[in-house]
Structure 1
Amino acid sequence: MNSLRALTVATAAVLFALPATAASAAPTAPTLTVGGVACAPGGILVGSPTPAITARFTGSGTLTPSFAVWPAGRPAQRVEWTAPELSRPGTAFTTLPSAVVDGGKYRLTAHGASCTFTVDTVRPKAPLVTSADYPRGQSAGGAGVAGKFTFAADGDRDVVKFRYSAPGAGLVEVPADRRGRATVTITPDSYGAKAVTVQAIDRTGNRSAETTYEFTVIDNEPRVYDDNPSAAIGEPRVIRFWSAVPGTQSFTYTFNGGPAVTVPADAQGYGHATVTPGRRGDNPMTVTSRTGNGVVSPEITFNVYVRVEVPVPQISSPDFPGDGTPPPTVGETVTIVLRTDSPEVAEFVVSLDFGQTEQVVAADADGNVTFQHTLPPDYIFLEVQARARTADGFESGSGYAGWELTPADG
């Protein structure tokens, strides 16, 4: 503490002469904090060579807070100073008159309160990070699969906690055990490259450099393939499963809301099942995979699709014969014919105004319809758009037809 010793005898004499209080009421012993650490019996550790000091006073009246500090065991090097006057109750804020040295032990007093502190400004070593569940440089685990990560102080005995950040975890602090270690559980919420960043923190609050531990999370959602996507309703389908997760032993699926079925996986992570769709369109299948140690993947949904062929309507009108006969005049009523010749077609979705609006026209038992339409007076061209639709909601593509009209003025 050379800087403290460097204070001259004259300066010390002036400091000794400073008044202890500025009011008649005797001050009570304050509560002291040094470098953000509350003073305690047996002493504290401080991580700064210029620690801030606070003294919280109770009682009433005003006083000029006075302080003294010296190297432990060397009271002759005592230095005193004061803080600005304050009204009680209140807190005085001050700093040491000069820097203290790393490793030094000091005594601080203020109005009957005393505190012993030791200076430790050495930062801990960057921590070591390991994980058997998510090894560095390897692909493992999966989204939603928890893994244990261990932080170690690398020989620093005064490390008391670790601060880390991880995907989906934010910033977290965990205490270190007596060996300077801590084990945490981290659950990645997605696959791909990930990282955990860790700092060691010692008893004085000193932080180490960051250690970044990088690992890769496997895409653990099972894959599903339909070996016969063109099969019709009632025809069996072979469905194959595959998982990238090492040690996958089985797949469990449900089909069209039926019971769960489990099938084995081979050494390459493949499995298969045979299902028979009972309806047209989507037949949903849910699938999960499971490893030998019981880790279940996220559930996915795969649609076994049975193609539905709805014929595109053929559009015609006897009022537009195409033989040179003049077309109808605007304002007249014309006949429109929609044909599919498919008994499955229950209705048509029709637009007669270039797609601006649509109307539904019921089909007859053969999947056809004939209806009347009055030509708007401001049209010079009639376009008909139509889609055929089955009773269970499947639609065809759009059919188009169009004809020029005879203007009303001839």
Structure 2
Amino acid sequence: MSHTPGRRARLALTAAAAVSLALLVPGSAGAVTGAPTVPTDLHNNHRACSTDPNAPMFVPNGIDLDGITHHTDPSVTRVTAQFRYWPVADPTQVTTVDRPYAISGNRASISLSSLADGTAYAWQMRTVDPANGAGSDWTASCYLAVDSTPPSAAPTVTTPGYPDQQWYPGGAPIELRMDPNGVTDVAGYQYGWNGGFTKSTTTAGLGAAATVYLTPPAGFNSGPVQLMVRSLDRAGNASPITNHLIFVLSTSPTVTPLTTPQFGQPVTLKLTPDAGTLAKSPIVSYTVHNARTYQDTVVPAGPDGTAETTLLLKDPNGEQLDITSTSANGWISSKANWSARVDTTPTITSTDYPEFQPAGGVGVAGTFHLAPKVDGSLIASYTYSFGWNTDQTVPAGPNGEADFTYTPTDSGWTDMEVWATTKDGIRLTSSYYTFVVN
């Protein structure tokens, strides 16, 4: 049998098209030897799903369903994750949703936002091979109940040891009692200090109260501190917020320097706890926060609750510390503030050009004497300038003093800036000197 050239061309084109189509189908580059398998690790909103129809997971409307797809052929990387769901009360109302281009072995998900409030649903998932349409068995059913209605009333909050809006000594953990205020489906509570819900607890049963013990937030000082509390139902819907004010007296430790603060020298600080705080629980330690360097140092307390710490004063702008005590019962005291600012400006004198006085004249040299207010052995040099022009540096002598000569080129008011630099390379605070040239 013979074939015409036109027919051979059409056959070639048809074969080429078939190859191109095969390349577009995921997993079909070679022969698929395996099959899709049942998905695993099913979740509702990132929580493991319930397979018990009598104990569905309560969720709000707007939920993510997900699971991990599988295929026995490792060359198949893309599959379709297929989900189906229906109201438990009417299994004939099945809705099926495909999630194409899922990665085999990875988690695939869909989002549902049109479920009916107060309705229980079942759902399943399977893996489908898009190359041949073969599907795995469906998973076992997961059960969920939609609850989009938040608790109708804010919880009732009491703090028996710290009466609401009354001043009370601190030092002991605060007993916080939370009551559902008549709401029957409360499953837990969220609470926190001054505008944030940082902690949570569950109830022993639906509609039950809960009690926790807590301390004010770190860094809290005396005064009013606000507790914010809200209840949660089984779906995580939040109630209105209850704000509860507590007035706590200061529990700050006392900070006493045992030596006179001097720049470049260590100063020893004695830390003494608040007497009322110590009476309620032993002091374990102190936390010393350096507000300049943002570093924290923990200092163990002695048997009597006191401690000592040593600080090297090397910041020309001064030192500032925030200090709290920590009790064995977990109480963190309010902050004690301690600061030291040592004058590190140099002293400037001149008999030839006294400060703020007319003297000398253009071309008349004058000597200026520079002396430190700090330990002279720390000083390496002085830097000076006139009228904020070119800086000039003169070395300091063994006692930290120095002299230099200046010859004015203009008459009138003249401003001078001088600062010292230590042998550690620290620039100290500037001093300013003004004189009048005749």
* TM-score, L = length of structure 2: 0.45
Task: Pick the structure with greater CA Rg.
Answer: 1
